[in-house]
Chains A and B, each alone.
Chain A
Amino acid sequence: MTESTIPAPRRGVPLWAQVIVWTLLVGLLVIVAMGLRRAQQGTVQPGQTIDNFTLPLYSGYQIDGKSEIHFEDLRGKVVVINFWASWCKPCEQEAAEMQQAWAEYEPTGEVVFLGVDYVDTEPEARVYLKKFGITFANGPDLATRISQYFRIKGVPETYFVDKEGVLQYVQVGPFTSIDQIRAQIDPLLK
């Protein structure tokens, strides 16, 4: 075999190369760590102040005459945010209780129930709302922005926010009785 035996000068790895390699490596590890932290994170936890979000409502629903709700406009009232979907069987278990609770608290004028429809189709959503006679405001979570913000793990989930806009309680899964709902709202009304 033809071989040229001129030995090349022996150098270590130049500094610029080392900087690049280590930066890329550390960068990758940081990204993975962040991804891991996010995967391990649960939903938004009590104590956190909820940022503003926008919920367009299905036609026929309104709050104070508005068909698009900005969360910050609801400051000063207790807000109950309920994530649901028409294809979600456990959601049906609590639908009647939610409506009943709304009927109880609506006259006080201090509580707002918001139904956020997660990844659903409007025709089926309407069938669901009609079936349970839901009268509190409901709208689709466009581009799943709101559910991403709350980092929901599934449906149904319900978030109780007090009058100052601070999250107080997270209910994962359906309520089994209306007492549970009352137990969360009443302390916040004081």
Chain B
Amino acid sequence: MVIDEETMKVTQDTKITSYKLPLAILFALTFALALVSLVSAQGPTPTDDEVNRIAKQLYCPVCESTPLDVCPTEACRQWRDLIRTKLGEGQSEEQIKQYFVTQYGARVLAEPPNRFASYLVPAVAILLGVLFLARAFQMWMKPSITEAEAAANEAPPADPYIARLEEELKKQK
């Protein structure tokens, strides 16, 4: 600093400031650039909805039968934050679900990973039921099939109640 004794003005040492300002601008620019690149590498923070979209498909590893998007515990909050971080890093839904499975086991998924085993048994059982019913129908109807065919043409309803109804309605037509 130089003080002009006459005017009592304080002036900067021009020698120093000659490169101070450009240096400052350089620093500011670098800083801004770094900031921008940092932010653009991460992308905007994922919204709650995006997090929930994935959390809905997962179950809380600790609580019983509670989906991750509605679980109120501290641990679940941390897991949702973990999903948010990973989404921000650009990981896909599949990758995040796989990460949870690796960390906590298959029970965090809403469905057993082995689709075949879980659907096979009910499918077979239902099929057996259909076959059983078909066979029962066949056994029951064998003697009367011809009768039914003959009656089909006039098809009078066997239910006396509906028969009465039909007659009433026919009378009025």
A143 CA / B105 CA spacing, docked (Å) = 4
Q: Are A4 and B75 in contact (CB under 8 A)?
A: no
A6: B residues at CB distance < 8 A: 143
Q: Are B143 and A142 in contact (CB under 8 A)?
A: no
> Which of A1, A119, A123 lies in contact with B61, CB distance below 8 A?
A119
Q: Within the complex, what minimum Cβ distance (angstroms) separates B62 from chain A?
A: 5
Considering only residues 43-81 of chain A, those with a C-beta below 8 Å from chain B are none
Interface: A144 (CB within 8 A): yes
A150: B residues at CB distance < 8 A: none
> Which of A119, A123, A144 lies in contact with B75, CB distance below 8 A?
A119
> Which of B75, B104, B105, B147 lies in contact with A87, CB distance below 8 A?
B75
Q: Are A124 and B78 in contact (CB under 8 A)?
A: yes
A24 CA / B75 CA spacing, docked (Å) = 41
Interface: A121 (CB within 8 A): yes
Considering only residues 71-110 of chain B, those with a C-beta below 8 Å from chain A are 73-75, 78-79, 81-82, 101-106
Q: Are B143 and A140 in contact (CB under 8 A)?
A: no
Considering only residues 126-181 of chain A, those with a C-beta below 8 Å from chain B are 140, 142-145
A119 CA / B73 CA spacing, docked (Å) = 13
> By the criterion of a CB under 8 Å from any partner CB, how many residues of chain A are at the interface?
17
Interface: A85 (CB within 8 A): yes
A145 CA / B147 CA spacing, docked (Å) = 66
A145 CA / B105 CA spacing, docked (Å) = 8
A87 CA / B158 CA spacing, docked (Å) = 70
B172: A residues at CB distance < 8 A: none
> Which of A1, A4, A86, A143 lies in contact with B103, CB distance below 8 A?
A143
Q: Within the complex, what minimum Cβ distance (angstroms) separates A143 from chain B?
A: 4
Q: A87-B74, A143-B101 are in contact. Are A4 and B79 (CB under 8 A)?
A: no
Q: Are A144 and B144 in contact (CB under 8 A)?
A: no
A143 CA / B61 CA spacing, docked (Å) = 10
B73: A residues at CB distance < 8 A: 87
Q: Are A144 and B143 in contact (CB under 8 A)?
A: no
A119 CA / B108 CA spacing, docked (Å) = 11
Q: A2-B158, A6-B143, A119-B104 are in contact. Are A144 and B78 (CB under 8 A)?
A: no
5 A-B pairs closest in CB distance: A143-B105, A87-B75, A119-B61, A121-B78, A144-B105
A-B contacts, 25 of them at CB < 8 A, read: A1-B158, A4-B143, A6-B143, A86-B78, A87-B73, A87-B78, A119-B61, A119-B75, A119-B104, A121-B75, A121-B78, A121-B79, A121-B82, A123-B78, A123-B82, A124-B78, A140-B103, A142-B102, A142-B103, A143-B102, A143-B103, A143-B104, A143-B106, A144-B61, A145-B105
Q: Which B residues have a C-beta under 8 Å from some C-beta of A?
A: 61-62, 73-75, 78-79, 81-82, 101-106, 143-144, 147, 158
